[in-house]
Each structure stands twice: as C-alpha cells, then as structure tokens.
Amino acid sequence: MRLLKLLIHRSKGTFALAVLVGLLSGASSSALIMLINRSLVHGTFRSSTTLAAFAGVLCVGMLLRICAQVLLNRLNFGALYELRMHLFRRVLASPLRQLEELGNHRVTAMLAEDIPAVTTSLMALPTLTINAAALLGCLVYLATLSRLIFVFLLGFIVVGLGVYQLPTRLGLGILQQARTRSDAFFKLFRAVLEGNKELKLHAQRRSVFLHRDVEATARDMQRLGAASANLFNFTASWGGFLFFTFIGLLLFVLTRFTDLDSATLTSCTLTVLFLQQPLDSMMSSVHFLSRGSVALEKLQRLEPQVWEFDLSSPQALPPPVQRFEHLELRGITHAYFRDQDERPFTLGPINLSLRPGELVFIIGGNGSGKTTLAKLLTGLYVPESGEILLDGQPVTDARREHYRQHFSTVFSDFFLFDNLLGLTSPEREPQVKAYLERLHLERKVQISGDGTLSTTALSQGQRKRLALLTAYLEDRPIYLFDEWAADQDPLFKDIFYQQLLPELRSRGKAVVVISHDNRYFHVADRILQLDSGRMMEDAPPTGPLLPGQRAAS
Ligand SMILES: Nc1ncnc2c1ncn2[C@@H]1O[C@H](COP(=O)(O)OP(=O)(O)OP(=O)(O)O)[C@@H](O)[C@H]1O
C-alpha cells in the first residue's frame, strides 16, 4: 500500500481531478437516461426543450469523458514514469545482500511485468469511479421511480457480490501462482541468453533445457493464465446473467405480486438495462485490479530494509574523499544463510588494518571467503558483528555511504559501463589518453568528450583493462582488485604486478589484491590467507615482508 500511496501522493492533483471529472461524467450518463425515460413516459420527445436538454447533457457528458480520458492517460504515463524511476532508485539504494538474495531475474520480472500491471490497475481506478458514479446516479433515480424495485435491486446486488467473492478470490490465488512462475520464466530467459554458447554446443543439454525446464514453466504459465482469465470472465458473465435474471424477475414475477403500472415498469427496466454497461465495465476492471494488487505485493519485496543513501536530488552527493590515515576491521563476521544449507558459510571474525602506501594480498582456495571479505571491506556488505573503524571512527549506517567513497575496485564480476559517467572532462583528456596507452588500449578504444567508450566489445582481458582505467580515473585512496590479473596475458600480468601495483603504492594508495598468482606474492607488503572463512593462524605477520621474504601459502 505504501507504493500505491506514493503514486497517488505524487500525482494527487491529477488523481483528484480525474476522480471528480469521472464522477461528473458518470452523473451526466445518469442524467441522460433520466431524460430518455421522462421523454418516453411523459411523451415529451417532440419538445424542443427536451431536445436542447438532451443535446446539452450529451455534449457535456462527451466533453467530460474526453477530459477524464486525457487525465487518465496523464495519470497512467506519469505513474509509469514514477514506478520506473522508483524501481531504479530502490535497486540502487537497497543493500547488496538484499538484492543478491532476491536475484536479478526477479528484479527484471518486476520491471517487465509488475510495473505495467500496477499502472494498468491504477488506470482502472478512475474508470471505476466513472462507472460507480453512473451506477449510483441510476440507483438514486430508480429509488425515485419505485422504492420496491430499488430495494429489490439492492438485495440482488448484495447477493450477487457475495457469490462473486468466491471466484474472485480463487482468481487472485491463481494470479499469485502465475506470477511466481513468471519469476522462474525470467530466470530461464536469462539462462538462454547467458548460457547460449553452452546450449548451442550440446544438443542433449539444450533439449533438456527446452523440453523439460522451459516447456514446463511456459505450460504452467499458460494453464494458470487461462484459469485466472476464465475465472474473471466467469465473474463478468455472472454479472450479465444476474442482470437479465433481475429483469426477468422484475417483469415476470414481481409484477404478479404488485400492482406496478407499466410506465413505472418501463422506466425501471430501461434504467436497469442502462446499468449493464457500467456494471460490466466494473466487473472487467476487477481482473486488472487483482493483477495490480499481486504486482504491488511483488514490488514491495524490493522495499529496502534500509535506504542506503539519499537519491532524491543530484545535489545530495557525499564530498569527494582524498585520503585516510588508518582503516581497521575489528572482529567482523558475515554468514550466508540458505534454506537448504545445514551449515551456512561464515566468514570471520576478521581483524585487519590498512594504511596508505600498503600493498596487501588476500589469498586462499576457492570459496575460502576472499570476495566476501572484499565486500565487507568496501562497505558493500554490512558486518553482522564486529566493527569497521575509519580513522578511529566507527562506520555506522549513516557514515557507510561516505566510507564507500574511499574505494576504487575491480571485482572479478565487474560491470563495464559504456560511458565513464562523469569521470572525464576536457582537462582530463590527456590523462585519459595516457592511461589508455599505459593499458595498451589506445588502438582499440576511443573515448568521446562526453565519456562514451567507442566499444566495449573486447576480449575479457581488455575489458578488465578498461575497468582498471575507470578505477584509475576514480583516483580513490584505496584500491581493491579481485583476481584482476586472472585474464591477462603473461606480459601484462607482469606489468600489473611489477609496475602498476608498486606505482599505486608509491602514490600513497592502499592496495588490496585478491590473487591466486603465487609467482607474484613477493611484491606484497603483507599477505592474508583465508581458509574456510577464517584468517589462518599461521598467516604471515601483518607487517611488511622483509626483502626476499615470501609468505606461506
Ligand atoms: N551470493 C551468495 N549467496 C550465498 N552464498 C554465497 C554467496 N557468495 C558466496 N557464497 C558462499 O560463500 C563462500 C565464499 O565465497 P567467496 O566468493 O567469498 O569465495 P572466494 O574465496 O572469493 O572464492 P573464489 O576464489 O572461488 O573466487 C562460498 O563457498 C559460497 O558458499
């Protein structure tokens, strides 16, 4: 509901106006039916006053309807814009761990499925108002024509709505199931794109993927989609059935027990017949509203446990960070919990200190916790226990955004943007060119004035060099490289360990390197070794290595 409130709050003026115009448009429809009835019953259809009144109400009604539609469109596209921006803000401001637990495929499904579903249902709200107003107007008019028929109809509507609850609830349950299958479908969709090479190269695996996994999910979606649509169609037909049942009862049963005159009967029947269109439309919107509520529920799963930073204005940025004196991790831990895991992986407690001008290697076997430690160190994960002290000050939630600005990183699963996103300026162009040359990329990539890279379609090693260029341009006091050299040729590996890293150190940067390259361990000042999430007790001393000394690995 918070999201719904937000959307209505953001465009409350338009929303209120759309509802008001909707109400007036609905009222004009009831006024029309009243005029038609009166002219038929009182025989005033030849009067020019009636004609003028009819034409007037018709034109006003049409104008109001057009206005309501224009407002609806504004509301709809405004809400779509708000929701899209909101989703991006949420993804940016949500803790990394929360996003990892949710999974990229679910976030993609939110963008592709939930946002359109919510906006469609929002659009149905004012349409509901127009129809509710027409319905209400007709009911009031009916009450003035015959109290008995009015009460009879009201009773009928109450019974109809009561019966109608059951299929609607069932439909909602099915919609929820269908939506869960969409998450699975988006996961498969990512797999078909990202695992395309593997699937092309192995017919049997491809066949199992397509005929077992994709087909089963797509069939489920087909079955559940059809079942929910059938249920909602049934509710709409149920409305139509009730409607004509009512007219039948009114004309052929109620008349046996009452002495209603035929003029009243005609007016009531006409009015009730007119009610069918708004009722039908209201019934149909229930499907959209239900889909919208399921989508809202899904979107709320992305409600950040904490908003990590203020994204409300481009000005709300932390100041650039130039230097630090001392960084200390004191007994920090992190555990990954998964339902099927009896023993979750736990990292820590880790103690570590870092000063400017230090080159520290983190080593250890696969799955020993190196990347997890890197995420904790850079402030991407919040430690579950222990604390991080920067220049003696604990890194609290309020200071974490500022803390993160100390790091330039290239993680092993880095993402390469096709634009440097504000890292260049005309004054920095010579520096960018020099870095491109240093990284042996000057013939491969050009960078335009606005920071757009001419290409990112490069080899993995070259893409990593571009990521390194970004890190250089960020020029933060602490650098972290997660297996950066793993994709480099021997020549560039050598340049990285023997030249680039020592250069960064000599510029006073603290450099943390996750590495499996034991040939180069000697360049480190300190080596920290992890084993199953624990810092090894027999790890080398935390001071700089003596010349020629090598860490145990
Ligand atoms: N996103 C995640 N969700 C749940 N568990 C995870 C996640 N990432 C890592 N793990 C668990 O944490 C352990 C440590 O993973 P981590 O990526 O930190 O290891 P690593 O030392 O960097 O390994 P490698 O050398 O293979 O890159 C793994 O064994 C894995 O079980």
pLDDT of amino acid 553: 35
The alpha carbon dihedral of 172, 215, 182, 101 has a sign of positive
Confirm if 542 and 353 have CB atoms less than 8 A apart: yes
506-542 per-position pLDDT tens digit: 999 999 999 999 999 999 999 999 999 999 854 444 4
Query: How many angstroms is it from 171 CA to the middle of ligand 1?
Result: 41
Assess whether the C-beta atom of 336 lies below 6 angstroms from ligand 1: yes
* Distance (Å, whole) CA 217 – CA 283: 30
What percentage of the chain exceeds 70 in pLDDT?
Answer: 92
Residue 236, both tokens: 């709409």
**453 CA → ligand 1 middle, Å:** 32
Mean pLDDT across the stretch 157-172?
81
Distance CA 27, CA 209 (A): 56
> What pLDDT sits at residue 37?
82
Range with the largest mean pLDDT of 101-115, 160-174, 261-275, 382-396: 382-396
Q: How many CB atoms lie within 10 A of CB 198?
A: 12
Distance 102 CA to ligand 1 centre (A): 17
Please indicate whether residue 341, judged by its CB atom, sits closer than 6 Å to ligand 1.
no
Cα–Cα separations (whole angstroms), residue 211 to 183, 192, 218: 18, 13, 10
In this prediction, residue 423 carries a pLDDT of: 84
CB under 8 Å to 134, separation ≥6 — which residues? 25, 26, 27, 29, 30, 275, 278
Distance from the CA of 535 to the center of ligand 1, in angstroms?
Answer: 15
In angstroms, the CA 34 to CA 28 distance is 10
Global pTM value: 0.78
Which of 362, 368, 482, 553 has most ligand 1 atoms within 8 Å of its beta carbon, as the pocket-test mutant?
368
3-state class (DSSP) for residue 522:
helix
Complex confidence, ipTM = 0.97
Q: Dihedral through CA 530, CA 534, CA 535, CA 538, nearest 10? A: -90
Q: Report, as an integer, the average pLDDT of 345-353.
A: 92
Q: Tell me: the pLDDT tens digits for 226-265?
A: 998 888 888 777 777 887 888 888 888 888 888 778 888 8
Ligand 1 midpoint to CA 371 (Å): 7
The finding on whether 204 has its CB within 6 A of some atom of ligand 1 is no
Copy the structure tokens of residue 484. Answer: 């950066």
Range name among 142-156, 278-292, 413-427 with the lowest pLDDT average: 278-292
Looking at ligand 1, which residue's alpha carbon is closest to its atom 7?
A: 336
Crossing angle of the two packed helices 115-145 and 147-194, in degrees rounded to 10: 170
Residue 344, ligand 1, Cβ within 6 A? no
* Across 41-47, average pLDDT: 80
In the chain, the domains with their CATH numbers are 1-146 (1.20.1560.10), 327-539 (3.40.50.300)
Whole-number mean pLDDT of the chain? 85
With a CB cutoff of 8 Å and minimum separation 6, the contacts of 539 are: 527, 528, 529, 551, 552
Q: Of 255-264, 339-348, 482-491, 506-515, where does mean pLDDT reach its minimum?
A: 339-348
Q: What is the pLDDT of residues 446-462, one digit of tens each?
A: 888 888 888 888 999 99
Please name the residues in contact with 76: beta carbons below 8 A apart, sequence gap of 6 or more.
119, 120, 122, 123
**pLDDT value, residue 305:** 64
* CB-facing half-sphere around the CA of 307: CA atoms within 13 A: 9
CA–centroid distance, 353 to ligand 1, in Å, is: 22
**pLDDT greater than 70 at residue 315:** no
Strand-pairing partners, residue 387, are: 330
* pLDDT at 110 exceeding the cut of 70: yes
Mean pLDDT for 456-478 is: 93
214, with CB counted inside 10 A (0-12, 13-18, 19+), is middle
Q: Which pLDDT value is given to residue 425? A: 80
pLDDT score, position 537? 52
> Which atom of ligand 1 sits closest to the CA of residue 100?
1
Q: Residue with the nearest Cα to atom 27 of ligand 1?
A: 366
Confidence check: pLDDT of 546 > 50? no
Query: 393 - beta bridge partners?
Result: 390
According to the model, what pLDDT value does residue 29 have? Answer: 82
Our answer on whether the CB atom of 366 is closer than 6 Å to any ligand 1 atom is: yes
Range 15-26 average pLDDT: 81
Q: Which pLDDT value is given to residue 7? A: 60
Q: Which of 123-127, 214-218, 272-276, 310-314 has the highest mean pLDDT?
A: 214-218
